Amino acid sequence: MTAPARVLVVDDSATMRGLITAILNADPAVSVVGQAADAIQARQAIKDLDPDVVTLDIEMPNMNGLEFLEKIMRLRPMPVIMVSTLTHKGAEASVAALEIGAFDCVGKPLPGDPHPFSDLAEKVKAAARSQRKFIISGNKVAAPSAANTNATAVDYRAARRIIAIGSSTGGVEALINVLQKFPKNCPPTVITQHMPVTFTKSFSERLNRLCAPTVEEAFDGARLEIGKIYLAPGGDRHLQVVNPSAPTCRLVDREPVNGHRPSVDVLFDSVADLAGRNGIGVILTGMGRDGASGLLRMRQAGARTFGQNEKTCVVYGMPRVAYEIGAVEMQLPLNSIGEEVLKCAATRREGTE
């Protein structure tokens, strides 16, 4: 029998520490081995207890969670799950934490939430299983390169491609890696990344600052255009693309799919129907199986499909399932995906009108 994942809970609120501890200890595959109220206590607890995973509050006295996370990643790299408020400030800090190297983020429950931290135990177990090397460099995310800042000689309009990308745990870093290779005149690109409500707005703003194309949170009725990337908003609707004559974003009210809303499968299914052979599908790091069946539908419709390989995934879940069911035409390391997708995007498929 596999030993339970050993967790250190760090939060300045005794009530929040107690809630997180109770929820995690209710799962027999997780064991909370210690608690800490601030970074000073947490640093000593990490030395004494050697936990597999740390849950870390972003807002703490003495040293905030981001500063402490940077120290962890530099001095004692390990899986850290950030616990954040669902405010705009909390969302911006969470996105920054994911760039620094946090395994994932969860939102603090709102008053009256009947199922607080419903997915925290699963994320802790995935973090404990992860073989990822947690490394921080001095300049983790670079500015867009000069080569991609201006429109290139490739005219992506001629091929009429639509790129669809799905990701979850580890997706912030992965998406930045892929999208920073896109030129200013990239094909229209739609993305579903599993994130808590309010986080996607901050993430789209961050991507827009880091990437050459325009990146925005998708809204209902947004027309897909060359040079634009659309990120599905977190919350209560799924992102689809509709209208073959003038491809458009549609946000639809539906029950969660694969436990997610927005769901990658819903996005990929719509791209399969709309774009057919002109579609390009990419599935990146993430827990579970969301996106696998939709990517298979895209491939069966004639689209080109790519999956991130195991070695470069934070969690080889979604790409693994997609590969195993035959949805992935080509598995690639993360650093190669952007270039390969752009090569395909510049070529029109035979048999399309």
Active site residues: 168, 194, 290
Give the list of residues 6+ apart from residue 118 with CB closer than 8 angstroms, or none. none
HSE (CB half, 13 Å, CA atoms) of 21?
15
> Which residue, 206, 184, 234, 182, is CA-closest to 97?
206
CA distances from 265 to 67, 269, 281 (A): 36, 6, 11
What the block records as the tokens of 67 is: 């500063």
Please report the sign of the dihedral spanned by the C-alpha atoms of residue 131, residue 58, residue 97, residue 46: negative
Cβ neighbours, 10 Å, residue 131 = 10
Residue ranges with strand state E in the chain: 5-10, 30-36, 53-57, 80-84, 104-107, 162-167, 189-193, 214-217, 228-231, 238-242, 248-252, 279-283, 304-308, 330-332
Query: How much helix, strand and coil, in percent to the nearest 5, is found in the chain?
Result: 35, 20, 45
Hey, which residues does 332 pair with through a beta bridge?
Answer: 308
Question: Distance between CA 169 and CA 102 in Å, rounded?
Answer: 10
For 346, phi and psi rounded to 5 degrees?
-85, -5
Q: How far is CA 272 from CA 163, 265, 280, 343, in A?
A: 11, 10, 9, 20
The H or E element spanning position 125 is helix 120-129
Q: How far is CA 16 from CA 37, 197, 282, in A?
A: 10, 20, 37
Q: Decide: residue 235, CB within 10 A, 0-12 exposed, 13-18 middle, 19+ buried.
A: middle
- The β-bridge partners of 190 are 164, 230
